[in-house]
């Protein structure tokens, strides 16, 4: 498995959907796992923010009534 296999599709929230290796730096396995965890956290945060925004809109905006 290579870096390209792990990061073939990056979510836009990551900063434009870029791919690692842009700087031609070799990542260790530990770095790859850390990077994947960061990507997962950013994606989950974006999803939760969307859920919160929809809940606020559903209740006629902010502040909640």
For 4-56, what is each residue's pLDDT tens digit? Answer: 555 556 666 665 555 555 667 787 889 889 988 988 999 899 999 999 999 99
What was the pLDDT predicted at 22? Answer: 61
Check: CB of residue 42 under 8 Å from CB of residue 13.
yes
d(CA 51, CA 25): 36
Q: What's the number of CA atoms in the CB half-sphere (13 Å) around residue 40?
A: 7
The answer to whether 10 and 17 have CB atoms below 8 angstroms apart is: yes
Taking the C-alpha atoms of residue 46 and residue 41, their distance in angstroms, rounded to an integer, is 9
Domains of the chain: which residue ranges? 27-58
């Amino acid at each position: 498995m290579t870096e390209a296999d792990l990061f073939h599709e990056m979510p836009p929230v990551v900063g434009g959907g870029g791919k690692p290796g842009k700087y031609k730096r070799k990542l260790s396995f530990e770095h790859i796992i850390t990077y994947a965890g960061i990507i997962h956290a950013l994606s989950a945060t974006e999803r939760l923010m969307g859920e919160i925004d929809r809940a606020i809109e559903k209740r006629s905006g902010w502040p909640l009534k």
